[in-house]
Structure 1
Amino acid sequence: MLTFARHTKEPRVENWVARRLERIVNVRPDEVQALLWAFVYFFCLLCAYYILRPLRDEMGVAAGVANLQWLFTGTFLVMLAAVPLFGALVARLPRRRFVPWVYRFFLLSLVAFWGLLELDEGRVQVARAFFIWVSVFNLFVVTVFWGFMADLFRYEQGRRLFGFIAAGGTAGALVGPSLTAALAVPLGPINLLLVSALLLECATQCVRGLLRTPQARTDATQARGTPRDPDAVIGGGMLAGFTEVVRSPYLLMICVHVLLLSLTSTFLYFQQAAIVAGAFDSPAERTRVFALIDLSVGLLTLAVQLTLTGRLLLRFGAGPALALLALVTLVGFAALALAPVLAAVIAFQAVKRATEFALSNPARETLFTVVSREQKYKAKSFIDTAVFRGGDAASGWVYTALRGLGLELAGIAWVAVPVAALWAALLLHLGRMQARLAHAGGTGSADKEAKQP
């Protein structure tokens, strides 16, 4: 009797929650469990990261603004080593094992850094290593998350739900800097690493909860008509991420998008570091400014994700949503060229990152709902980590070369303006490629269908 009562109440609860969620997101009753687990999962991940982000940015400044290109290069080299290791893990283990393993690895690494910083030996070297580690951590945990989401949800579901799921991350991005600002003095900045580690463990438990939902048992690939065991090992080689990208025009176009995003973001990051370093002498004040930027971005992003993202993606598709980021970048660099001051860089960072997180990122993640499982995990991780950080490293040296040629901040900003215009055109084309793949079924590799006129 008790068992029957419990099971009869569960659909009623789901329907009640679904009716209230429908006011802000187009969700169906059978998707509610997975949607809420994914929301909390992403909240924990980004809250953990954004607790660390102001510390990372301050350590980047402490290690020397002139050395930032070396830190970006170091991050790229670490990524080159990490991607095939992740590919080997995906090839040999089911997702219920390799996803938690990734988070537990970063959790243990975080505890190790806490110990090194407590010892206070070789602080500059530890600061440089921590900057690289946080940069790797950020991309890896997020790309594993979105690969998992693309494996669980179909293309049509992604357009409806990814904006709301991304809002969970945005809420975490709001709480993270707030915790840093509130706890940095009473706990000390170093002890915040343990708070971040606790949140990573919470994210790992969310993975386990998500895998028990109906969506995980009837996931994206099954729904497209290719039944399989959702817990099956993906297989393939450790270098499959690279080979899948090279063979696919669609994935190569995503790489171009990531490289141009990296180029413009790196230019803006270097300009932000130079302007903030010139405006403040105190490390505490610099950390505070970085945290306030994160907080303002989070507030603006959350408002858009909860009210507009899903509707805009359904109405216009991924291409225009992605291209909007390029247009914001174009206008922002033009403004920064005219007035390279602290207020301009803070406003530009806030609007650009809000557009990126609220619209561009959910749109970009839907790009992977129309590719194969191996491409979702391996090719995606290669693009999001090695390609992205390779773009960061190359962009850092390009920025340094432009400075070496005598260009000031305003001149470099003008260089970025036509690059952003080209980027917008490419993103509109990428959106059309995705639409063709989705129309063709999107069940296999992303190379054949994307070639169709």
Structure 2
Amino acid sequence: MTMAHLRARAEAAVASVVAVRPHEMRPLMSSAATFFFILSAYFVVLPLRDEGAISLGLDTLPGLFAGSLVLTVFAAPVASLAFSLPSIPKPRVRITFPFLSWMLKNSVEHGNKMGVFRFFGISLLVFFVLWFASTPGQSQPIALLIFFMFCLIAKSSEDDSNDPAGWRKHSWFYIVVRISLFLWVALLNLIAISSTWARVIDVMDSESGSRLFGFIGAGATLGQLFGSLFAASMAWLGPFLLLFSSLLMELAALSSKGICIDTNHDLTELSGTGVDQVQNTEADDEMSSLVTSPTSSFQSRKSKPQFFIMFEGFWLILHSSYLIYIALFLWLSAVVSSVFYFQKVTIIATTISSPTARRRTFALINSFIAVFILAGQLTLTGHILTVAGVTVAISASPFVAATIWLPLLYGRLGLLWLSLKQLERYQ
């Protein structure tokens, strides 16, 4: 069976579940594959990151979260500036950044996205070396050079102490590597996903996005499920998970090459969508009444220096109450998610002593979350949005969070009651 035949069968299978036009097939498949590999890479390394944070002590988690917040606040506008600029000329890259000239090879023609993914993939390889070098008793060169013996090395690569007593018992090198990985993975998640969505939005219009974004989101969910299951089954590999995550980032870079506009499709197919374009224009006019911009994108880029482009998003939000409410909703959602994350890490750290078991538990929890998300996308989400609408669905989020809080509160009260009973018995 030839590759062309396999590709034709895959395209037929995709066309049976989503309304896709022939010229949209390549960007659709490439977008879904890119998100699949990005989320897989992220959730493969996520349990290792959380385990490294636990080894520093639970009291360090608020500081790590604050550091992630500060890093993303500064990184988000800088990334927006980088992605909004035109492709970097190759001679300038070679002269200014010799290393980046190799890393960005073949990425200039694809919106600099391949270079972003490859940069993060290489950084994960660097963290693999640093992790081994900072772990007591695991800095032997053989552990870094001979990959085919990774099974034997990984089984002996656990930390000497399984008790998350705090960072004071570790060397400064150990602490710096764990903190850096925690912050770097958060940055990877932000830039890789946001840059890919920015590229997808540039390629697809609002009409095609309404048809195809669900399939692309399903690819991301499948990536979360695959990465979590892989991390759960291979938790004993320890830092070698960084190697697999780096490989997945390279696959994401290769997949992103297909996220482009197909200029070779028939003009008759475009003329057939004239009615849809009129409807989309009316919808865009209605949305523009909610999201107002003081200047058009073209005018703003002409009237402002390129450095100030990174702050254009802030100005758009400040001049629109609609966007302010969306930002406030996302901020409150992040606060609630952070509280749940602290509860999860605290429970796992206090009940499980083995680093491998903790990594496996983190990965299994992420797997269950991915299963529930995928089931909801396939069954409930579409019906809820169709029947109740977006406003009702978003407004129901606090009630869902409160429902989840009840078992946690009941468990906490149960533990307190048992502790009081133990004190009464000793008295």
- Pairwise TM-score range, normalised by the shorter structure: 0.5 to 0.7
Match of 2:360 in 1: 288
Distance in 2 (CA, whole Å) between partners of 1:50 and 1:319 is 30
| Shift, 1:165, TM fit | 1.1
Distance 1:311 1:18, change over 3 A: farther
Letter in 2 for 1:113: F
1:37 and 2:51 are equivalent in the alignment: no
Match of 1:103 in 2: 117
Distance in 1 (CA, whole Å) between partners of 2:319 and 2:115 is 29
Distance in 2 (CA, whole Å) between partners of 1:51 and 1:341 is 34
Match of 2:255 in 1: 206
| Shift, 1:320, TM fit | 3.4
| Shift, 1:255, TM fit | 0.8
Match of 1:48 in 2: 41
Q: Is the 8 A contact 2:72 2:190 kept in 1?
A: no
Deviations 1:149-189 (A, max 9, x none): 3333333433332222111111111111222233343xx32
Name the % identity: 31
Q: Is the 8 A contact 1:111 1:197 kept in 2?
A: yes
SS in 1 for 2:333: helix
Q: Is the 8 A contact 1:210 1:216 kept in 2?
A: no
Distance in 1 (CA, whole Å) between partners of 2:371 and 2:356 is 23
Match of 2:407 in 1: 335
1:129-144 → structure 2 map (5 Å cutoff)? 129-144=180-195
1:24 and 2:96 are equivalent in the alignment: no
Q: Is the 8 A contact 1:160 1:314 kept in 2?
A: no
SS in 2 for 1:240: helix
1:254-403 → structure 2 map (5 Å cutoff)? 254-310=326-382, 312-313=384-385, 316-340=388-412
Match of 1:241 in 2: 313
| Shift, 1:293, TM fit | 0.4
Match of 2:245 in 1: 196
TM-score (norm 1): 0.63
1:113 and 2:127 are equivalent in the alignment: yes
Q: Which residue among 68, 89, 92 is the counterpart of 1:75?
A: 68
Distance 1:119 1:248, change over 3 A: same
| Shift, 1:249, TM fit | 1.8
Distance in 2 (CA, whole Å) between partners of 1:245 and 1:323 is 21
Distance in 1 (CA, whole Å) between partners of 2:400 and 2:40 is 26
Distance in 1 (CA, whole Å) between partners of 2:354 and 2:186 is 23
Distance 1:270 1:167, change over 3 A: same
Distance in 2 (CA, whole Å) between partners of 1:191 and 1:102 is 22
Match of 2:422 in 1: none
Distance in 2 (CA, whole Å) between partners of 1:74 and 1:277 is 21
Distance in 2 (CA, whole Å) between partners of 1:283 and 1:18 is 43
Letter in 1 for 2:111: R
Distance in 2 (CA, whole Å) between partners of 1:215 and 1:48 is 33
Letter in 1 for 2:255: C
Q: Is the 8 A contact 1:163 1:310 kept in 2?
A: no
Distance 1:141 1:177, change over 3 A: same
Distance in 1 (CA, whole Å) between partners of 2:384 and 2:16 is 16
Distance in 2 (CA, whole Å) between partners of 1:314 and 1:213 is 32
Distance in 1 (CA, whole Å) between partners of 2:180 and 2:213 is 33
| Shift, 1:214, TM fit | 5.4
Match of 2:158 in 1: none
Deviations 1:65-104 (A, max 9, x none): 1111100111122223322321331332259333223223
| Shift, 1:244, TM fit | 2.2
Distance 1:90 1:210, change over 3 A: closer
* Structure 2 unaligned spans of 5+: 88-107, 136-172, 285-300, 418-427
SS in 2 for 1:72: helix
Match of 2:140 in 1: none
SS in 2 for 1:211: coil
| Shift, 1:314, TM fit | 5.1
| Shift, 1:323, TM fit | 3.4
Match of 1:160 in 2: 211
Aligned Cα RMSD in Å? 3.7
TM-score (norm 2): 0.67
Aligned length in residues:
326
SS in 1 for 2:112: helix
Distance 1:33 1:244, change over 3 A: same
SS in 2 for 1:326: helix
Letter in 2 for 1:128: I
Distance in 2 (CA, whole Å) between partners of 1:242 and 1:338 is 42
1:149 and 2:200 are equivalent in the alignment: yes
Q: Is the 8 A contact 1:106 1:137 kept in 2?
A: yes
Q: Is the 8 A contact 2:23 2:262 kept in 1?
A: no
Structure number with greater Rg is 2
Deviations 1:189-221 (A, max 9, x none): 212212111111111121111215459998x9x
* Structure of higher RCO (CA pairs closer than 8 Å, 6+ residues apart): 2
Distance in 2 (CA, whole Å) between partners of 1:309 and 1:125 is 42
Distance in 1 (CA, whole Å) between partners of 2:257 and 2:408 is 45
Q: Is the 8 A contact 1:44 1:172 kept in 2?
A: yes
Q: Is the 8 A contact 2:352 2:358 kept in 1?
A: yes
Distance in 1 (CA, whole Å) between partners of 2:265 and 2:384 is 26
Distance in 2 (CA, whole Å) between partners of 1:153 and 1:313 is 22
* Structure 1 unaligned spans of 5+: 1-8, 227-232, 343-406, 409-453
Deviations 1:26-80 (A, max 9, x none): 4444433322221111111100001011111111211211111100111122223
Match of 1:177 in 2: 228
